[in-house]
Structure 1
Amino acid sequence: MLKGLGGLGGLGDMAKMMKAAQEVQGKMAQLQEDLQTMTVTGESGAGLVKAVCTCKGELKSLDIDPSIFNADDKEVVEDLILAAIKDAQAKATEKAQAEMGKLTEGMGLPKDMKLPF
């Protein structure tokens, strides 16, 4: 009389939900690992200063064009470096949110849903 788990008052649906939750947890863990290695590049001064950081916001490298080194322009150089780092961090946040959006949208959840991150 009992067909599968359907005759157990919805326990079959609960089992499906639990399995789906475990899959989501696995995908979230994988995405967290991926975000540690995905990189973005921020720049300032029309590319004279470039900053590379992971999608977790960790600064990985700076590339500074030697043409900007002039003792009189110390503050300008500092501002360009700071701007490049901030640009890279903003891009990292944007990329991480986009990747998270792909994951949640693929599960039928709202794209802008906030998940533990």
Structure 2
Amino acid sequence: MFKGMGGLGDMAKMMKTAQDMQEKMQRLQEDLENTVVEGQSGAGLVRVSVTAKGEIRALSIDPSILVASEKEVVEDLILAAIRDGQSRAAERSAQETRRMADGLGLPPDFKLPF
């Protein structure tokens, strides 16, 4: 009936695929915001909860290390816990992004826009 219009069907399929990918990326972003990992230092004396997007949600410090003369040590432990949490969050985000790319059939080295 519409001879010569076969390209429109391919275009519609491509647009649908792009829309599906956009929806999956949006869900991934939401999942990363809700995925929380824990970083720690000082054998667990300082703990930090971080979303897979890198947002710090909570900090817990064991009261036994809250000694005025050890202020610098406590600060170092806090920074170490935050760095550990952020590192774990980045790794989790990369894992989830790779998993989504694999599910979409994208090459392993394909960079998604986030």
TM-score (norm 2): 0.89
State the AA in 1 paired with 2:89.
A
State the AA in 2 paired with 1:37.
N
> Partner of 1:59 in structure 2?
56
CA RMSD of aligned residues (A): 1.8
Find runs of 4+ consecutive structure 1 residues off by over 4 angstroms: none
Task: Report how many residues are paired.
Answer: 114
From 35, 44, 49, the counterpart of 1:47: 44
TM-score (norm 1): 0.87
Query: Which runs of 5 or more residues in structure 1 are unaligned?
Result: none
CA distance 1:60–1:110, shift in 2 (3 Å) = same
Separation of aligned partners in 2, 1:76 and 1:86: 15
**What aligned pairs does 1:32-43 form with structure 2 within 5 A after superposition?**
32-43=29-40
C-alpha displacement of 1:9: 4.2
**What aligned pairs does 1:98-109 form with structure 2 within 5 A after superposition?**
98-109=95-106
Query: Which runs of 5 or more residues in structure 2 are unaligned?
Result: none
Q: Deviations over 1:44-102 (max 9, x none)?
A: 11111000011111111011111112222111110000000011111111111111111
Percent identity reads 60
Separation of aligned partners in 1, 2:101 and 2:33: 19
